[in-house]
Structure 1
C-alpha cells in the first residue's frame, strides 16, 4: 500500500501557495503518489479558513487534519506592508508561526514542519559579506520589520527542533513569476510596461533604486524545494537546519528593468520616484546555495530571461483591453 502524504499548506491561496499546489498536483500525476493537500487560507479556493494568530483555531486545525507535513507560507509577506503594519506583521509572522509549530509538536509530532523564512533575515550580514554570497551560518541581523519577524521565527523554529519539532527552515531569496502582485519589483516593472503597451499609461516608468544587486529566482524553482522537503527522505541531520534558496548570481535591478523593456519592445522614459526609495539599502544581497544542493539535490533551473518573459506576458494578459 502506498504511504499517504497529507500536506497542509498555510497561505495556500497566495502567490507562492498557488504555485506550490500546482507542483504537488504535478507530482501526484507524475509519480502516482497517494497525496492529499489541505489548503489553508482565505477565499473560495481554501479547504480551511484559519486565523493562524488564534492559538485555539490552529490547534484544532492540526488535531483534525493530522498532516504528515506542514508547509508554512502564511505571512505578511511584502516588506512595505510589514513596515506600515508592524504589530500585524509580528502577530502573523512570529506568533502565527509559534502557534503552528507548538500545535504540530502536540497534535502531529511525526509531521515534518517546513518553515518558509526569508533572506531578509540576514540584513546587515550582507553588508558584512562585502558582496560575497552568504552561507547559512552568517548571523541574522535584520534591518527591516519584515526581516526581523522572519529572523525571530526562524530562530524559534530552530530551537523547537531540540524539543522534537521535525523542522526544516528555508531562506528564499527574491523570487518572481506569473501571478505575483506589483508589491515586488519585477512585477511592478512588468505591470507598468503592460499598461503602456495597452495604451492606458503614458510611456513613462516610475522606479525606485536601480543600483542594488539581488539574487533572483523563479517561483517554480522555489516550490520544487518545498515539495521535495515535504515528500523525500532527508538525512536526520537536516532537521533543525536552515537552507538558502538562491542562485548565487546577483543581478542589478537596472538589468532586470532593461531586460523587461527589451522584452516589451517599447520605448519608454524612466524616472526615479522618491516614494519608491526605501532609505538605506543593502548594495548586494546574494546567497550560497550549496547546502540545499547537498541535502535535497536542489538548484535553480529556469533561466531569468524566461521568468521575466512569463511575468511580462502574465501582466499583458491582465491589462489587455476587454
Structure 2
C-alpha cells in the first residue's frame, strides 16, 4: 500500500496507529484527515468534514488512497446518552458519506472500519464469549450508531466496497481521555498521589467485567487486517478481544496499588449507564486464524502506562 488515509488521526487511537503503520508500511505515505485539528508526524494532511458528503469526496480525490482507516467517531457512551443526535450524525451518516466516496472515487481501495464490540450489547447477557455472528443488540446510542454503520458498510461491500469491519473490545493506553473508565481511575489516582485531590475516588459500577486490550494490540490488529486485505472477502468482520474479562473493581484496586494511594471509594450516580451489561467477553479466534493476530501486551504494563501518562499530565 502506497497511500493510507486515516480519519480520526488526531484522536487517541490515531496517534498510536501512526507508529504502527509506519513500522508495517515504511514506504507508504501516511495521510491524516482532519477538520483543522493539529496533527504531527504525518506525511500529508487533507481537510475532511464527515458531515459534508462533498468534503468526503474532495478528500478522497486529493488523498487518492490505497487504503482508508476510518477511526473518527463520537465514542463516549455517556455523552451519547445525553446528546444522541450528533453521535448518530457522525457515526452513521459520516461513515456512509466517507465509504460511498471511497467506493465511487477510489476504485479498489480498502476501507477498514473501526466498529466496536459495543454493537453486541444485550447479547452479552448470555455470559459466553461472542463471535462475529452474535446478534447485534446495542444498548446505548453510541452502540446503536456503530451497529448501523457496521451494517451499512457490510451492505456496501456487496456493491464493490473492499470493506473490512473490525470490532475491538474495550481498549486503553496513554493519551486516552478520562471519559473512559481506566483513564478516569488513573487521573484521580494521580491527582490524589500528587496531593491535588482529596483522598476520595468517585466511581461508577465496579461489579462489571470487561474484555480489555492495550491500544497497541488493537492497532496491531488493524495493521494485520490491512496486510491480509488481498485475501479477505469484502465485508469481512473480526473481533479484537483478549477472551479474558477483567473486573472493573479489580482494575481500580490495581491502579491504586500502582499509585501507592488508599483513598475512600464513593459511588457517583452520574457515572452509571442507564442500560448496562454485567460482562463483555469476545471470541478472537477468527482474527487469530485469518490475520495471525493475538494480544501480546501484558495488562500490568498497560495500567502502568496509563497511570504514568496521567502523572505526567498533572
Deviation at 1:236, TM superposition (A): 3.5
1:150 aligns with 2:146: yes
Instruction: Give the structure 2 partner of residue 64 of structure 1.
Output: 62
Give 3-state SS (helix, strand or coil) of 2:30's partner. strand
Give 3-state SS (helix, strand or coil) of 2:4's partner. strand
The 2-side partners of 1:181 and 1:236 are apart by: 33
1:88 equivalent among 83, 86, 93 = 86
1:34 aligns with 2:32: no
Instruction: Give the structure 2 partner of residue 213 of structure 1.
Output: 209
| Cα deviation code 1:81-115 (max 9, x no counterpart) | 22222111111100000001110111112100000
Give 3-state SS (helix, strand or coil) of 2:163's partner. strand
Instruction: Give the structure 2 partner of residue 176 of structure 1.
Output: 172
Give 3-state SS (helix, strand or coil) of 1:100's partner. helix
The 2-side partners of 1:66 and 1:49 are apart by: 13
1:261-300 aligned at under 5 Å gives the runs: 261-300=256-295
> Structure 2-normalised TM-score?
0.96
Instruction: Give the structure 2 partner of residue 23 of structure 1.
Output: 20
Give 3-state SS (helix, strand or coil) of 2:128's partner. coil
The 1-side partners of 2:5 and 2:258 are apart by: 38
For structure 1, the residue ranges without an aligned partner over 5 or more in a row are none
In 2 relative to 1, CA 67–259 (structure 1 residues): closer, same or farther, beyond 3 Å?
same
| Cα deviation code 1:177-210 (max 9, x no counterpart) | 0011100000000000010111110111000000
The 1-side partners of 2:50 and 2:224 are apart by: 24
In 2 relative to 1, CA 84–231 (structure 1 residues): closer, same or farther, beyond 3 Å?
same
The 2-side partners of 1:58 and 1:231 are apart by: 25
Superposition CA RMSD, Å:
1.2
The 1-side partners of 2:283 and 2:296 are apart by: 16
Instruction: Give the structure 2 partner of residue 137 of structure 1.
Output: 133
Instruction: Give the structure 2 partner of residue 44 of structure 1.
Output: 38
The 2-side partners of 1:232 and 1:134 are apart by: 23
Instruction: Give the structure 2 partner of residue 77 of structure 1.
Output: 75
Give 3-state SS (helix, strand or coil) of 1:34's partner. coil
Instruction: Give the structure 1 partner of residue 114 of structure 2.
Output: 116
The 1-side partners of 2:82 and 2:33 are apart by: 25
The 2-side partners of 1:66 and 1:229 are apart by: 20
Deviation at 1:233, TM superposition (A): 4.8
> Structure 1-normalised TM-score?
0.93
Instruction: Give the structure 2 partner of residue 12 of structure 1.
Output: 9
The 2-side partners of 1:163 and 1:114 are apart by: 16
The 2-side partners of 1:280 and 1:27 are apart by: 40
